[in-house]
Structure 1
Amino acid sequence: MSYEMWIIVTGALVGASCGVIGAFLILRKIAMLADAISHTVLLGIVLAFLVSHSMNGAFMLAGAVLVGLFTAFAVQLLNSGGIQEDASIGVVFTSLFALGVILISLYAKDVHLDVEHVLMGEIAFVPWETVSLLSFGELPKAFVMLGSIFLLDLLLITLFYKEFKITSFDPGMAAALGIPVLLIHYVLMVMVSVTSVAAFDSVGAILVVAMLIAPGATAYLLTDRYSAMLLLSGGIGVLDSTAGYFIAKAFDVSISGSMAVAAGIIFTLAWILSPRYGLLSRLFSRHAVHKLQR
């Protein structure tokens, strides 16, 4: 596969995996919690390095999962204590992210990990860092990790499809049916954490946040069906990343930044043109109502 195709495929994997998970976050109205987790996993990565003295992917994933779960727990604890949810997210997110930045500056100055790298990543370097995978030969490390996490996400969604659906729409009913609502919530938080850290090194936190929110929000405008929204979210994530790559190539700018911009553009088009919830559709509906009232 060519150098260019590896970048596109890696971006598409980020878009698909984050997009599908993001659909659940949109339905549960906790999209900004994904923003918090995608930044606070930096602390998990730094702590994993300080403990293991290695940037091995397994240690990074373990650290990210623990800090991601702690982030979700801390937000919920503050919220249940009377603090507004958005304020809880803001306090936890900024504090843990800042702590990660401080630990980098104190103990990891000579490691390939800095704030700019964390925020923007560098997907253009993905094809150069490879691993040998049995009969498949040399494959980009980011592709292997993202592909594995994507398959894991699909497996969990398949296994807990009904539980995710009911807890997303009616947690009270789910609890009455005996479904462990809190456990399903934390399973989703683990998925967000693991997917974030898998994409972290190659695309950075900014694109992870964009892909966790924009594709799901776009799909939410286009369909009312749960299964269709999941599929659309993944597909739109792939479209966002692919379009962003060609925008970056045309203007010679940041690839990750362009992918995030493409996600915003496609969301805006859906917001304007959506046949049921779009701006134009609502304007036409209001105009028709006014005509009937005359």
Structure 2
Amino acid sequence: MVQQSSYPIGLSGQVWGESEKAKWLKAQTIKRSYLQEVVAKIAPFAEHFQVDQYGALSYNPSEYPLFVVKSKQWSEDKPTVLVTGGVHGYETSGVQGAIRFLETKAKEYEDRFNILVAPCVSPWGYETINRWNPNAVDPNRSFYQDSPAEESAALMAYVEDLGIDITAHIDLHETTDTDNSEFRPALAARDAVEHSNWNIPDGFYLVGNTELPADDFQTAIIESVVKVTHIAPADDAGKLIGAPLSQFGVINYATKALGLCIGFSDSVYATTTEVYPDSPKVDDENCILAQVAAITGGLDYILPLSKPLT
């Protein structure tokens, strides 16, 4: 018999059907405002950057418009950097870190790069503090053709329409204690599979692409972030979240095969940040600053690839 963690929805050994998903959705509640905490902060960027609405979620289009912020001085001669936040809406510093980068640092790089930032890919998840979307689908496992997650599909379609190559893609995430207390048990119940809980790393780490690890790029980001916050040590088995280290503070996943956000862009330089906001060593501001440091560390590393416009 299939074994799984106890969860209040569904029966052990049975994959969720529509009734279980509906019951799960009914249990979700709005806990914060996407329009107030995210959209209101994006609007002023239109003074200096180009703010594009690339869609709206069908769950409630007026409440969940989707935005990207991009350089006005767009040029085919400059490499393009994509920053994504809020693919998992509950991971707050990913969203606010993307916004803080636009507020404080992005202008310093726009003469060398095309800057493209999607601050909150999953706004319903942001409001309900959820990993999944309302259909109990994980957007960060859905970045592939005919995606079941409209959050993922909308971003991929927008980037494809730009007709450009993405040189670097930095996707801002968190690993939280609720990964073990809520989201992994829910996943086990939904799919009727066994999910053993892993040790939550205390500190910042990165997830690179197994097929194109860009080791020096990852090192540069770690060296930038360590000036702001602590890097997660490996566990007793020499791993982070069950994966072996490729270097201090870095593991690699098969990002494209898993449907992860950094996999769809086919970037030479790609990484997923993981901040640990539940650590007693950090606060909300420190987590946001760590995300900004990750972006700037990556951009500083690839600066030699770019050239200032004359």
Q: Normalized against structure 1, the TM-score is what?
A: 0.24
Q: Normalized against structure 2, the TM-score is what?
A: 0.24
- Higher RCO (C-alpha under 8 Å, 6+ residues apart): 1
Between Structure 1 and Structure 2, whose CA radius of gyration is higher? Answer: 1
More strand by share: 2
More helix by share: 1
